[in-house]
């Protein structure tokens, strides 16, 4: 099989896998929307609506049709990116998501950079110093980061670093004084403020994102550290490490070039999953810091029973994880040529 035919074969297999996964995700979100106890019609018309108004909206939403027809119309809406309007804002759900997703992406990206930047080196250090004091210290710090409730650490951190010491900004993405001063081109506040040359707004946004990103990053670092340590211990017990040391290679070379080099593919998966978890699981930290992101948007719509918006959010989360898995597959081929 030539290289081009092999590439097309792999591409076709990947595309088919993605399509099947997306179809399964559509089925799952549709079923979730139908089995949830919340009444989407009541969320729109309110509790005091008459029976005639209720039935009119019920038919307008297509809920009087057979289930298979509802699923066909749901697929049509997904393909055309027509998810309807959100009850709470009255705006198209796609517009709401375009506004809130960048805020969460910005926060999660900062957090995963901190988490991966701390977690991977600490995991390696703990593994090469197994059962020494530094290994025990790293494991205790990892256990604390993994077990402490994020909403509790968020409130304590606000009291200490914002209210007490004044080192960081408080709630929100920036100070109230700067709201509306930067044109929203990308909805990424740091990028928009830099493009506009509003460096005061940029510093305010950076000052506000540091604390929630550090807390989320610490939580991710705890998980990444534990997994890195486990992967490294497995590699350090392999015969090729002993052979490398017998041949005269230094501990630094064997640990970082050979052992760490062989766990990079595994770390890609761990970091990608951690990043995805930050994107869809930052609800508590966004609530504590009044961060107008995706998690807060999902929670608020779930509380009022807007299942249309909730189903769309669930679908977005699934697409994000599919994209991250695809990116992981691509990075596998970069870090490990054997997978080609």
pLDDT, one tens digit per residue, over 262-295 is: 788 788 888 888 888 887 667 778 888 888 888 8
C-alpha–C-alpha distance, residues 144 and 60, integer Å: 51
Alpha-helix residue ranges (DSSP H) falling in the chain: 3-35, 40-45, 51-60, 67-79, 93-128, 133-147, 150-157, 189-195, 199-236, 239-246, 251-252, 260-281, 283-288, 294-304, 307-335
Reading the block at residue 35, the tokens are: 């089995």
DSSP secondary structure, 58-125, as one string: HHHTTTTS-HHHHHHHHHHHHHTT---B-TTT-SBHHHHHHHHHHHHHHHHHHHHHHHHHHHHHHHHH
Q: pLDDT tens digits, residue range 19-43?
A: 777 777 778 777 776 666 666 666 6
- Tell me: pLDDT of 211 over 80: yes
- Tell me: pLDDT of 261 over 70: yes
* Inter-CA distances, 155 with 12, 108, 286, Å: 49, 19, 12
pTM (2 decimals)? 0.80
C-alpha–C-alpha distance, residues 289 and 302, integer Å: 19
**b vs e for 196-211, b when ≥16 Cβ sit within 10 Å of the residue's Cβ?**
eebeebbebbbbbbbb
Q: pLDDT tens digits, residue range 91-138?
A: 888 888 888 888 888 888 989 999 889 888 998 888 888 888 888 888
- Tell me: pLDDT of 7 over 60: no
Q: Indicate the pLDDT class of residue 189, thresholds 50, 70 and 90.
A: confident
Q: Which domains does the chain have, with CATH numbers?
A: 3-79 (no CATH), 93-339 (1.10.3720.10)
The pLDDT of residue 127 = 85
Percent of the chain with pLDDT over 90: 1
Percent of the chain with pLDDT over 70: 85
Q: Is 46 exposed, middle or buried (0-12, 13-18, 19+ CB in 10 A)?
A: exposed
C-alpha–C-alpha distance, residues 239 and 132, integer Å: 23
Reading the block at residue 323, the tokens are: 């994209």
∠ at Cα 284 (281, 290), nearest 5°? Answer: 115
Q: Indicate the pLDDT class of residue 8, thresholds 50, 70 and 90.
A: low
- Quickly tell me which residue has 């990075």 as its tokens: 331
Q: Indicate the pLDDT class of residue 187, thresholds 50, 70 and 90.
A: confident
C-alpha–C-alpha distance, residues 211 and 289, integer Å: 9
- The least confident of 56-65, 103-112, 227-236, 273-282 is 56-65
Name which residue leads in pLDDT, 253 or 123: 123
The pLDDT of residue 200 = 86
C-alpha–C-alpha distance, residues 326 and 43, integer Å: 37
Residue 331 neighbours by CB under 8 Å, 6+ apart: 265, 268
Mean per-residue pLDDT, 160-169: 82
């Amino acid at each position: 099989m030539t290289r081009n035919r092999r590439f097309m074969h792999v591409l076709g297999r990947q595309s088919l896998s993605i399509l099947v996964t997306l179809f399964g995700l559509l089925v799952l979100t549709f079923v979730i929307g139908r089995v949830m106890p919340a009444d989407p019609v009541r969320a729109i018309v309110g509790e005091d609506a008459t029976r005639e108004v209720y039935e009119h909206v019920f038919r307008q939403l297509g809920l009087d049709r057979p289930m298979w027809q509802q699923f066909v119309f749901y697929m049509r809406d997904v393909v055309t990116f027509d998810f309807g309007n959100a009850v709470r804002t009255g705006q198209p759900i796609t517009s709401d998501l375009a506004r809130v997703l960048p805020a969460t992406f910005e926060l999660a990206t900062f957090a995963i950079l901190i988490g991966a930047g701390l977690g991977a080196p600490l995991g390696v250090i703990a593994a090469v110093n197994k059962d020494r004091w530094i290994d025990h210290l790293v494991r205790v710090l990892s256990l604390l980061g993994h077990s402490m409730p994020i909403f509790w650490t968020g409130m304590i951190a606000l009291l200490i670093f914002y209210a007490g010491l004044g080192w960081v900004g408080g709630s929100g993405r920036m100070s109230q004084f700067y709201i509306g001063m930067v044109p929203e081109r990308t909805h990424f506040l740091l990028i928009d403020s830099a493009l506009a040359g509003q460096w005061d707004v940029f510093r305010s946004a950076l000052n506000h994102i540091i604390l929630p990103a550090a807390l989320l990053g610490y939580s991710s670092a705890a998980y990444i550290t534990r997994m890195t340590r486990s992967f490294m211990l497995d590699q350090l017990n392999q015969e090729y490490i002993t052979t490398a040391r017998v041949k005269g290679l230094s501990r630094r070379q064997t640990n970082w070039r050979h052992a760490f080099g062989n766990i990079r593919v595994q770390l890609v998966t761990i970091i990608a999953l951690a990043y995805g978890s930050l994107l869809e699981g930052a609800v508590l930290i966004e609530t504590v810091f009044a961060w107008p992101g995706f998690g807060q948007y999902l929670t608020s719509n779930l509380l009022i029973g807007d299942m249309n918006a909730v189903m769309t959010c669930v679908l977005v989360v699934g697409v994000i994880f599919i994209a991250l898995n695809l990116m992981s597959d691509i990075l596998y081929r970069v870090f490990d040529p054997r997978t080609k």
